[in-house]
């Protein structure tokens, strides 16, 4: 039973890691296209916060005896290409903020589903607490992007 719980917790943390890393990589891909200093500053702060979450997730995974699993290269390249194509014709601050908001919406949706599943499988309280914190961060970041629309 305890081994099963550890595996569930580690799997949950892996999904959390991929969610946060996708956000970080998306910001890094978008950053060269940002001309507005305010938006750049907000995105930099958000990237820093995401990097902090990455470190916390890796720490919790280490306590479970696992290293994080990276997203496969095809998924990462596909995301990067999608971002580049999406900004090819429109790289205005408003459009970039809208893209960020779409990303945060996906992150909130995915993490909320993962939290519900992890609650049922009795994942560790520390992992659930961190996931809820990340969802709250995504919600706050979504709101911050509204001022750039």
Domain residue ranges in the chain: 2-148
> How far is Cα 10 from Cα 124, in angstroms, rounded to an integer?
9
Q: Is the dihedral of CA 134, 140, 145, 149 positive or negative?
A: positive
Tell me how far CA of residue 50 lies from CA of 21, 27, 70, 105, 128, in angstroms: 8, 10, 15, 15, 17
> How far is Cα 71 from Cα 121, in angstroms, rounded to an integer?
23
pTM for the predicted model, two decimal places: 0.90
Write out pLDDT tens, residues 89-128: 899 999 999 999 999 999 999 999 999 999 998 899 999 9
CATH of the structural domain 2-148, one choice from 3.30.465.10, 2.60.40.10, 3.40.50.620, 1.20.1260.10: 1.20.1260.10
């Amino acid at each position: 039973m305890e081994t099963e719980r550890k595996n569930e917790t580690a799997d949950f943390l892996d999904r959390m890691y991929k969610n946060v890393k996708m956000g970080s990589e998306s910001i890094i891909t978008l950053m060269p296209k940002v001309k507005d200093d305010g938006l750049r500053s907000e995105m930099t702060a958000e990237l820093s916060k995401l990097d902090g979450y990455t470190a916390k997730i890796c720490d919790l995974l280490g306590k479970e005896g696992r290293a994080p699993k990276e997203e496969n290269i095809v998924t990462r390249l596909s995301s990067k290409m999608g971002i580049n194509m999406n900004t090819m014709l429109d790289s205005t601050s408003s459009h970039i903020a809208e893209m960020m908001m779409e990303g945060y919406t996906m992150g909130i949706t995915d993490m909320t589903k993962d939290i519900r599943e992890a609650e049922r499988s009795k994942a560790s309280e520390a992992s659930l607490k961190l996931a809820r914190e990340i969802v709250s961060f995504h919600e706050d970041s979504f709101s911050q992007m509204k001022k750039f629309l």
